[in-house]
Structure 1
């Protein structure tokens, strides 16, 4: 598979592969470390399938994201969707156990709740990163007028008319496009504030995804607080 040729009008370099790889490995590690009493051998299925999908993607783009084919694109989106779906199922199981657990089960469940929450943040960040504006390869390699409509509006997308030191980082001046860290921050802030605080969702699918993420994180927080109060009481 030949690397894509960057459009002459684009000046920003392609995105590094390893930040998202490290984040996904952290997520899979969190699944492997879940307490056995909470989730049995099923958690290792998530780890094995995740690694099986991730390895070919690293082989295709080991350093920078410059290559893309229909199968690699489908594989990348499948990995992100699969992690989010697996985490939603795990979240349902966590909620059921938090509602029915005895006090002796509480420490393990509270630890599992933290692990599921962190995995949820990374999983949604990876999904936003893969879907917005055609994905990480297209965002930096294609001409801007060839990009699909944006799902997120970041502050940099509208800062070109600000003071010089702010405009210097804008999409217009610097040819800026969001990287994984931008989606990770947006996912983290949505998980803590239960609303968009940095990037504003523009498309219905991203509004639904952000709503689902915020609702799940709210349930985790509410039930963990309730369980903690019960333990202390």
Structure 2
């Protein structure tokens, strides 16, 4: 499979594979370590499916994101959607356990942290896969050929700032968002329950960010309530 040719107007280097692969493996490890009281053998189904889908994606793009076909695009987006969906189900189970007074309180509180971290990673992957056509298209297609942006980053509008700020702008150095940019946006949204870095532009991203923020709020509220109950 040949790499997707980069448009002559683009200078952005292709994105590395390792950040998203490492983050996904971390999320799958979190699932494998969830307590049985929260999620039984089902968690290993999530781990197995995640690994099975990751292997062909790494085989196609082992080092940098330069190759893409219709099936690799479908698998990569499906993997991100599946992780987010699995985490929402796990979140519901966690809430039921916390509200129902699960017997192993320390394990459930640790599980809440695990679900919270997996939630950040899952939404990071989904934002990274969907915004502007995905990681391959973002660095290869001409700017005017990219799909409409779902996120507006500060670098997208800094070209008229002072020289040292404008030097990092999209217009000046062909800056394009990378995995860590989406990770920071996902993390800050989960912690602040609102967009603090990248602003959502599309309805789908506004809904996704609302779902993510609501999930983070529910976890925090349940953990505080259960902790107060334990201390009382």
User: What displacement does 1:36 show?
Assistant: 1.4
- Provide the C-alpha distance between the structure 2 equivalents of 1:56 and 1:69, rounded to a whole number of angstroms: 12
Q: Residue in 1 aligned with 2:192? A: 193
User: Helix, strand or coil: the match of 1:197?
Assistant: coil
Q: Residue in 2 aligned with 1:78? A: 78
TM-score w.r.t. length of structure 2: 0.99
Cα deviation 1:141-185 (Å, max 9, x = unaligned):
111111000000000000000000000000000100100000000
User: What displacement does 1:38 show?
Assistant: 1.5
- Provide the C-alpha distance between the structure 2 equivalents of 1:220 and 1:194, rounded to a whole number of angstroms: 12
Let me know the Cα RMSD of the aligned residues: 0.6
User: Helix, strand or coil: the match of 1:51?
Assistant: helix
Find out whether 1:62 has 2:62 as its counterpart: yes
- Provide the C-alpha distance between the structure 2 equivalents of 1:37 and 1:148, rounded to a whole number of angstroms: 44
TM-score w.r.t. length of structure 1: 0.99
Q: Please, which runs of 5 or more residues in structure 2 have no aligned partner?
A: none
Find out whether 1:126 has 2:141 as its counterpart: no
Q: Residue in 1 aligned with 2:168? A: 169
Q: Residue in 1 aligned with 2:9? A: 9
User: Helix, strand or coil: the match of 2:104?
Assistant: helix
**Number of residue equivalences:** 232
User: What displacement does 1:12 show?
Assistant: 1.1
- Provide the C-alpha distance between the structure 2 equivalents of 1:214 and 1:69, rounded to a whole number of angstroms: 32
Find out whether 1:95 has 2:95 as its counterpart: yes
- Provide the C-alpha distance between the structure 1 equivalents of 2:10 and 2:105, rounded to a whole number of angstroms: 53
User: Helix, strand or coil: the match of 1:82?
Assistant: helix
- Provide the C-alpha distance between the structure 2 equivalents of 1:18 and 1:55, rounded to a whole number of angstroms: 13
User: What displacement does 1:37 show?
Assistant: 1.8
Superposed structure 1 runs of 4+ greater than 3 Å apart = none
- Provide the C-alpha distance between the structure 2 equivalents of 1:65 and 1:107, rounded to a whole number of angstroms: 41
User: Helix, strand or coil: the match of 2:6?
Assistant: coil
- Provide the C-alpha distance between the structure 1 equivalents of 2:61 and 2:74, rounded to a whole number of angstroms: 15
User: Following superposition of structure 1 onto structure 2, how do residues 112-123 of structure 1 map, counting pairs within 5 Å?
Assistant: 112-123=111-122
Cα deviation 1:73-110 (Å, max 9, x = unaligned):
000000000000000000000001100024x4210100
Q: Residue in 1 aligned with 2:27? A: 27
- Provide the C-alpha distance between the structure 1 equivalents of 2:202 and 2:31, rounded to a whole number of angstroms: 30
- Provide the C-alpha distance between the structure 2 equivalents of 1:68 and 1:168, rounded to a whole number of angstroms: 30
Q: Residue in 2 aligned with 1:43? A: 43
User: What displacement does 1:58 show?
Assistant: 0.2
- Provide the C-alpha distance between the structure 2 equivalents of 1:101 and 1:118, rounded to a whole number of angstroms: 23
